[in-house]
Amino acid sequence: MTKRKKIVIGSVLGASVLGLASIGIASNNEKGTSIRSEVVAERELVSVVTASGYIQPKRKVDISADLSGRVIQLAVEDGQWVERGDLLLRIDPTSFQANARRAEAGVAHARAQSAQARANWLQAQSAARRAEQLSEGRENLISPADLEQARTQMAVTEAQHEAARFQVAQAEAALSEARETLRKTTITAPMSGRVTRLNIQEGETAIVGTMNNPGSLLLTVADLSEMEARVKVDETDVPHISFGDSTTVRIDAFPNQTFVGRVTRISNSAINAATATAQQQQQSVDFEVVVTLSNPPEQLRPDLSATADIVTAVRPNALSVPILALTVRDADGKKFRADEAMRNPNAAETGDERRARAAEVEGVFVIREGKAHFLPVEVGIAGDRYFEVKKGLTAGDVVAAGPYQVVRDLEAGDAVRVETPDANTRAGRGGTAGRGQ
């Protein structure tokens, strides 16, 4: 999630908590604008990416039919445990048995033809040898034409024998295919597990399974001993997630329990990749992240809704400021007026100077001697209430921390009045930060 987005979320949070009705801005009086302040101090920050998804077994097999036919036997029930190789169901094999018998007859016929072709070839060989012997004598008992005809006949029968042998191989392949098709009428369990989905009943017709046809799914066998949460993570959060990140998972069906796990897979492509149309390109892009649960309970079931809090970073002693304190101004600490700065440039300024003045600058307002001074800062990770400050502030600095509307309208040099500092301001330290958004 971008820092700008975090600022917006923090701003909305501040607006909802404090309310615009409670804002008191003392304009143009000697006391200055009323603000709430906090002291920059070290805190423990935990950056968390929150994503929602569903529970799935780590290993499961969706079973579809390889051929169409009526189910004549269903050997399992929904929720039943099966071992690898156990019978699941049978499809009516009558027509496939007939095809197998037809293929067997084809093999027998092809072998008979092959034997006949071999006999013809052997007979032609003998005739050719006799013709050669008769032509070698001085009596010239056979003409050259008859000798040539005998040799030709031998070559023809040899080719016919070779063709018959190939026909046998073809018929045997057809028989093997018919037997394999017949074997597919009996569907057995490909793995040990529990039947978690059963979409077919005895007497119904199974259709050939295809990837784009959910109706062809007959049943699902899953190993429920290893479960995982598959969640959708926004594209801006994916770069912050790493393999092995610790995760807390909340499941709607178990409202009073939390489950722990670790990130075991991060998809390399988006779930909903952007398409060519401008309207669809404006949609958010999500990536699937898989969290494997540690010691899942036996009551856990597939497809349960789940929310995962993935810890992406921890800072034990991070210099930090409230999220509400971070704002955007121009280089002079004034409200950001990029369009106005570019439309009405100062003649004495160069183009680079005008662009620098119009550029957005992230920073906070530090309270010194009753006035607000804008200081640019570099922030790191975000907790639920605080940003880590990498550069720009020191411990002990007092920053404007609210209300939201006051910080939004504040400009460098404005007179301010700090009202009733909270415990963090007086003590110069704060509590532990939680989830980041």
The string over 134-153, giving b where at least 16 C-beta atoms fall within 10 Å of a residue's C-beta and e elsewhere, is bbeeeeeebeeeebeebeeb
The number of helices, as runs of H, and strands, as runs of E, in the chain is 8, 20
CB 91 within 8 A of CB 71: yes
Is the pLDDT at 173 greater than 80? The verdict is: yes
Residue 333 backbone phi and psi in degrees, to 5: 80, 15
What is the predicted pLDDT for the residue at 211? 58
Q: Does 277 fall in a domain?
A: yes
Q: Does 147 fall in a domain?
A: yes
Question: Looking at the structure, do residues 74 and 127 belong to the same domain, yes or no?
Answer: no
Question: Looking at the structure, do residues 199 and 72 belong to the same domain, yes or no?
Answer: yes
CATH of the domain at 240: 2.40.30.170
- Looking at the chain, the whole-number percentage of residues with pLDDT higher than 90 is 54
Type of residue numbered 154 = M
Number of domains comprising the chain: 4
Q: Does 306 fall in a domain?
A: yes
Question: Looking at the structure, do residues 70 and 202 belong to the same domain, yes or no?
Answer: yes
Q: Does 110 fall in a domain?
A: yes
Q: Which helix (H) or strand (E) holds 226?
A: strand 217-234
Which of 376, 296, 294 is closest to 330 using CA atoms? 376
Which of 29, 14, 39 is closest to 394 using CA atoms? 39
What is the predicted pLDDT for the residue at 214? 62
Ramachandran sector of residue 390 (left: φ over 0; alpha: ψ -120 to 50; beta: rest): alpha
* Per-residue pLDDT reduced to its tens digit, 188-246: 999 999 999 999 999 999 988 665 566 688 999 999 989 999 999 999 999 999 999 99
Question: Looking at the structure, do residues 304 and 377 belong to the same domain, yes or no?
Answer: no
Is the pLDDT at 430 greater than 90? The verdict is: no
Question: Looking at the structure, do residues 16 and 79 belong to the same domain, yes or no?
Answer: no
Question: Looking at the structure, do residues 329 and 420 belong to the same domain, yes or no?
Answer: yes
* Per-residue pLDDT reduced to its tens digit, 70-110: 999 999 999 999 999 999 999 999 999 999 999 999 999 99
* Per-residue pLDDT reduced to its tens digit, 284-319: 789 999 999 998 888 888 999 999 999 999 999 889
Whether the CA torsion 109, 110, 113, 119 is positive or negative: it is negative
The radius of gyration computed from the CA coordinates of the chain, to the nearest angstrom, equals 41
Structural domain ending residue among the three candidates 292, 313, 334: 313
Indicate the SS3 state at residue 176: helix
Question: Looking at the structure, do residues 380 and 410 belong to the same domain, yes or no?
Answer: yes
Question: Looking at the structure, do residues 192 and 288 belong to the same domain, yes or no?
Answer: no
Is the pLDDT at 9 greater than 90? The verdict is: no
Task: List C-alpha distances in Å: 225 to 64, 78, 120, 295, 329.
Answer: 23, 17, 67, 8, 54
Computed over every residue of the chain, the mean pLDDT equals 82
Structural domain ending residue among the three candidates 259, 294, 313: 313
Task: List C-alpha distances in Å: 165 to 110, 119, 153, 282.
Answer: 8, 13, 18, 65
Rounded CA-CA distance 225/300 in Å is 9
What is the predicted pLDDT for the residue at 358? 59
Rounded CA-CA distance 58/178 in Å is 35
Q: Does 274 fall in a domain?
A: yes
What is the predicted pLDDT for the residue at 334? 85
What is the predicted pLDDT for the residue at 5? 53
Q: Does 132 fall in a domain?
A: yes
CATH of the domain at 75: 2.40.50.100
Q: Does 213 fall in a domain?
A: no
Structural domain ending residue among the three candidates 254, 280, 313: 313
Question: Looking at the structure, do residues 369 and 301 belong to the same domain, yes or no?
Answer: no
Over range 262-276, report the average pLDDT: 80
Is the pLDDT at 27 greater than 50? The verdict is: no
Structural domain of 413: 3-47+315-427
Residue 229, class by beta-carbon neighbours within 10 Å (0-12 exposed, 13-18 middle, 19+ buried)? buried
What is the predicted pLDDT for the residue at 331? 79
∠ at Cα 335 (331, 339), nearest 5°?
A: 85
Question: Looking at the structure, do residues 348 and 270 belong to the same domain, yes or no?
Answer: no
Which of 55, 301, 79 is closest to 194 using CA atoms? 79
Question: Looking at the structure, do residues 325 and 295 belong to the same domain, yes or no?
Answer: no
CATH of the domain at 347: 2.40.420.20
CB 234 within 8 A of CB 284: yes
Q: Does 215 fall in a domain?
A: no
Question: Looking at the structure, do residues 191 and 80 belong to the same domain, yes or no?
Answer: yes
* Per-residue pLDDT reduced to its tens digit, 346-366: 555 555 555 555 578 889 999
42 vs 11 pLDDT, higher one = 42
